[in-house]
Amino acid sequence: MDPVETDRPQGSEKVESSGHQEKVLLIELQVREYISGFLWLGLLFALTAGLKVSLDSSPEATAVSVSKAPWVFGAIQWMLQRWPAWLSGWVIPLLSTAVLVTLPWWARKVGKRWAWIIFLILSLIWVGLTLLYMFTG
């Protein structure tokens, strides 16, 4: 037997334990992310195929110029109708993106549970604003 082969960890081990935490192999994490990514893309595709949002102008187009957008931009459109463009079109979306990008850092600082809570609150806000745009719009 080659000495290099004896130093290598065996492929049959699924989980290594390090103290009280378990480490999962990289390939298993990739498979989980691929599956969840395709499930979310399938859900979004079903929503886009099932929802009909008109893109025409409003009946009051001569008095007030109201533009429509696809439902995926509903949260931004809802905010644009009520708040200044610089705030609802730039500041809030960029701030939301910054929060999502820094979630791994937040998870290390305040814990995974709080990072999940932050993610869920932000997601519910955007989904709620999108639904407001779609149904009150």
Note whether 124 and 68 are within 8 A (CB): no
Q: Which helix (H) or strand (E) holds 93?
A: helix 92-101
Neighbours of 68 (CB within 10 A): 16
Q: What is the pLDDT of residue 29?
A: 83
Instruction: For residue 18, give the H/E element and its range.
Output: strand 15-18
Side chain identity, residue 117: I
pLDDT at 42: 92
> What pLDDT, on a 0 to 100 scale, did the predictor assign at position 53?
63
* Neighbouring C-beta atoms of residue 83, cutoff 10 Å: 13
* 83 and 130 fall within a common domain: yes
> How many structural domains compose the chain?
2
Residue carrying the six token digits 């298993």? 28
Q: Is there a single domain that holds both residue 30 and residue 63?
A: no
Alpha-carbon distance of 102 to 8, in angstroms, equals 35
Q: Are residues 43 and 60 in the same domain?
A: no
- pLDDT score of 51: 75
Q: Is residue 44 domain-shared with residue 59, that is, in the same domain?
A: no
Q: What is the pLDDT along the chain (137 residues), one digit of tens a residue?
A: 445 444 545 554 455 555 566 777 888 888 889 999 999 999 988 887 887 766 555 555 555 555 666 666 778 887 888 888 888 888 888 998 898 888 888 888 888 898 889 889 988 988 888 888 778 75
- Answer yes or no: do 91 and 132 share one domain: yes
Are 13 and 65 in the same domain?
Answer: no
Kindly report the pTM of this predicted structure. Answer: 0.48
Question: Do residue 36 and residue 71 come from a single domain?
Answer: no
